[in-house]
Amino acid sequence: MAKNLVIVESPAKAKTIEGYLGKDFVVKSSYGHVRDLAKKGVAIDIENDFLPNYEVSADKKAIVAELKKLAKGADVVWLATDEDREGEAISWHLYETLDLGKKDTKRITFNEITKSAVLGAIDKPRNINQELVNAQQARRVLDRLVGFELSPVLWRKVRPSLSAGRVQSVAVRLIVEREKEIIAFQSSSFFRVNGLFLKGNEKISCELNKQFEDQKEVQKFLDKISDADFSVQDVTMKPATKSPAAPFTTSTLQQEASLKLGFSVSRTMGVAQRLYEAGKITYMRTDSVNLSETALEGAKNEIVRAYGKEYSKPTKYKSKNSNAQEAHEAIRPTDFSAHTTTGENDQVRLYELIWKRSIASQMANAQLERTTIKIGAPTVNEIFQAKGEVIKFDGFLRVYLESNVDDDDDEEIDERANLLPQVITGDKLSREWVRATQRFTRPPARYVEASLVKKLEELGIGRPSTYAPTISTIQKRGYVEKMEREGLERSYNVLILNDDGVSIKEMTEITGKEKNKLSPSDIGIVVTDFLNEHFSKIMDYNFTAKVEQEFDEIANGMKEWTSMIHDFYKPFHQTVEDTLENSERASGERTLGEHPESGKKIIARIGRFGPMVQIGDEQTDGEKPQFASLRTGQSINQISLEEALELFEFPKNLGIYKNEEVVLALGRFGPYVKFKEMFVSIPRDEEVGSVDIDRAIELIKEKQEADAPIAQYEGLPVQKGSGRFGPFIKWNDIFINVNKKYDFENLSSADIKELIEAKKQKDIDKIIHSWPNEGITVEKARWGRFTVVKGKTKIELPKTFNVDALTLEKAQELIEANKPKKAAKKKTPAKKATAKKTTKK
């Protein structure tokens, strides 16, 4: 047995490290945390100084048993989990669970998984840092207390099965407040004036230094300048420099990967984790912009080699965040000479982004020349301005240009655009045209994941390790959703002055079109309003940031973790009890008006199963109300009376076709026609109220034609269609994407065979365990995860699950546990004779 046992938290990390150490070392993975707060109850002894009750989770017992056995036979145990607080806590839990107090146990950390870093850490071991552990314990205990006590309040006062959290609820508040700003925003129009002037054949594009509020003002201005003689009033040329951005922290990586690569926050962290475990980048959870001396030297050498000495400018960056851990490093490549990497496409793209940002941070400033030309006329007070810039030396721009997360259009700014001709003051110019375009003020932009991370960081809410889980949680729990808005058509006017005089054109544009913007759900708004009213301290941005500062103080040994919890818990618990006893139920109820025929009140509110509208009130009318669920995209805060009344018209029987009913209904994804077992979506641009039996039959026939088999393969029909991800064929209930190398409209028998066989082989390659007699397989899923599959049941295994140790019995247990539970029939209790009891209210 090996003399040295090294324990890390991930199997990929273990595999990389084992290659660097000799035969005297064995490297094993704990697959993340081996123990956590017990799932049953609060698991915190509040009366005993908030003593946590930890337990080893069921799926980790086999791993713990194996590690105990290996530790017993080893001379030295090396705890090599990640260097942040969570990594320190994992090491401490391993130390306690494996009973390592009697062993020679050493704690080592490294910022990158390279041979030199790992061997360097072995040479400089230390003890477990209990202060870092306590900071993580404080976070875990505080979050459990808040969730455990707040969630039941929401179950009783809003709706069952809801949850609340210290950071997640504040993140939702940001999104809710932004949505309310957008709803309250009143757009106003103005006119922006641009011109095109000529010096000979050379063009100068410019903009007026004034905007006009209405069309009359614009018309008057254009009439005034129609015969004006324009000339160059002034030319200024100024040198300017542009500096590179600092290397990536966790939050800036998440923002830039969103803007440049279109990655979600969780996708970025998953890809970065795999790059780190493969030894290609440094640790990806950091708030530091610092680079080590080794990294600075490596970057300098590569810049000089690849671009020349004049491009090198070694720079040390300082974090703006006073609590940033400067001993840690920014996210950077472990080898600057590797401009790219191999592996899956996501890893290549993210690596190249990290390499470019890191190398650019050590490059020289870009040298620019910025020119401003002012154009005017003796009879005109307003000035046209043309601005341009020329890059004299590209410096870091040769490699990288930072994106702007606050740019609504998420477009990179082209620093090289708008070159201007050579002019001097007094040069006469001819006017080609002047155009006044009606524009509209815009509400604040909804958050995307990247801009939400930026806002959380600005407010001091959360830390590098919490951004991705927080954003993922608020979406999984239905408080926030990524909406796709088609936008609305809007008309606007353009006034054009040219040699023929002033003409007016009415134009149209689509406004409000959005994709992947974060919007609060109705339940998210109701819960946020309720928590703001009754738990204002928990929801306060400053309080949440102050808690993060206290965690930092605990980590630095400046504060006792239990005293922090004491200070928080007593007033919080009192507020919980007061709210349970004294607050009213919250449903977000909103009166829309009265029913035109019955006169009954119509309201929109949150019901037991989600947002709904209701006609009548049992207490007022003495009759059972009518209910209808809202459609996707509708909100109780914005639905109109007319839209609500329309919901009660469905499902509507349109008539009979081929001796079967044809029904028009509203579903979760919009209106549809139902015929036999067929569901036919109504086109988005079609008014649902205009669909009659004739139109429904047309849609049914179109659907039947589209679904008709185009071929047979192995005795089964092959159909084709087009969905969210493009064209596909369907065979044996399997959907197969058809890429651009095939002529989708003219698929041959050979094409169909090739597509189906490739898909079958891919599905076989995905299977890593199989129990054919039971019909159970374990398959590879996205982002390095695994899924247990039986028929149509799919269970995604936790990231930390040891898939190699999965048995048939455990797989069956997981499938059984995830079966939908049937509602139990209520038993009618036998009536008992009881004496009447008088109670005082």
Q: How far apart are CA 732 and CA 106, in angstroms?
A: 56
Residue 340 burial by Cβ neighbours in a 10 Å radius (0-12, 13-18, 19+): exposed
Q: How far apart are CA 506 and CA 493, in angstroms?
A: 5
DSSP run (H or E) holding 480: strand 480-485
Helices 250-261, 467-476: inter-axial angle, 10-degree rounding: 60
The one-character DSSP state at 793 is E
How many C-beta neighbours within 10 Å does residue 170 have? 23
Give the ranges where 651-780 is alpha helix by DSSP (H): 693-707, 749-766
Tell me which of 95, 283, 307, 400 is the catalytic residue: 283
Judge whether 31 counts as a catalytic residue. Answer: no
Q: Which residues of 672-706 are buried (b: 16+ CB within 10 A; e: fewer)?
A: bbbbeeeebebeeeeebeebeeeebbebbeebeee
Give residues with Cβ within 8 angstroms of 479, minimum separation 6.
Answer: 168, 172, 520, 521, 523, 524, 527, 528
How many C-beta neighbours within 10 Å does residue 151 have? 14
Task: For residue 320, give both structure tokens.
Answer: 């703006």
Smallest CA-to-CA distance from 172 within 162, 161, 159 is with: 162
CB 77 within 8 A of CB 103: yes
Quickly count helices (H) and strands (E) in the chain.
22, 34
Task: For residue 610, give both structure tokens.
Answer: 């989600």
What DSSP string describes 134-191? HHHHHHHHHHHHHHHHHHHHHHHHT-TT----TTHHHHHHHHHHHHHHHHH----EEE
**Residue 625: cis peptide before it, omega within 30 degrees of 0:** no
- φ/ψ of 797, rounded to 5, equals -80, 150
The one-character DSSP state at 692 is -
DSSP run (H or E) holding 393: strand 380-393
Task: For residue 405, give both structure tokens.
Answer: 């997360």
How many C-beta neighbours within 10 Å does residue 323 have? 15
Place of tokens 């979050």: 143
Smallest CA-to-CA distance from 85 within 135, 33, 37 is with: 135
Smallest CA-to-CA distance from 403 within 269, 287, 260 is with: 260
CB 84 within 8 A of CB 327: no
Q: Which 3 state secondary structure label does DSSP give 23?
A: coil
Give the ranges where 185-230 is alpha helix by DSSP (H): 215-225
- φ/ψ of 25, rounded to 5, equals -115, 135
- φ/ψ of 836, rounded to 5, equals -65, 140
Q: Which 3 state secondary structure label does DSSP give 820?
A: coil
Residues noted as catalytic: 283
